[in-house]
Amino acid sequence: MEKRHLGVYGLIINSGKIALVLKSRGAYIGKLDLPGGSIEHGEKPEETLKREIKEELNADVKSYKLFDAESVVVDWLHHDEIENMHHIGIFYKVQLKSGNLKEDADGFDSLGAKWYDIDSLKESMVSPLVWIELKKLNLK
């Protein structure tokens, strides 16, 4: 089965650390991913960015700037069937109003958010799009 997923994500980097969420479900279960998610009907990408960051990090966006659009294709087991997902992401560089993150689960697909030392991240720990964006930022 083939599926397409379009999401908006925040690249939130401060003093060599990046804000990431631990995924509780979906194609990247058990991996670290950027805060963000699907665009709701009628929503602008910037609105999605702000909403998702509030939901997943319990943080407010101070400023944002469009950085990149990228995609990957991944196979994952979904309801006992292999799904071939074309994951398309729109990425913004984001500054938060405060550096405090919500470390508990959001009740949707995040087990909590934390600041991670970018130098300690390995490709196997993060979703493919996180790794691609870190490389584009010359951080990996």
Question: pLDDT category, 123, cuts 50, 70, 90?
Answer: very high
Nearest to 72 by CA among 128, 34, 136, 8: 128
Can you tell me the mean pLDDT for 41-66?
96
Determine the Cα angle at 83 with ends 79 and 84, to 5°.
Answer: 170
Q: How far apart, in whole angstroms, are the C-alpha atoms of residue 32 and residue 45?
A: 22
- Domain encompassing residue 122: 2-136
pLDDT tens, residue by residue, 2-46:
999 999 999 999 999 999 999 999 999 999 999 999 999 999 999
Nearest to 27 by CA among 92, 101, 93, 81: 81
Is the pTM higher than 0.75? The answer reads: yes
**Which domain CATH number covers 120?**
3.90.79.10
Please state the domain count of the chain. Answer: 1
Element (H, E) at 66: strand 61-78
Check residue 38 and give its pLDDT. 95
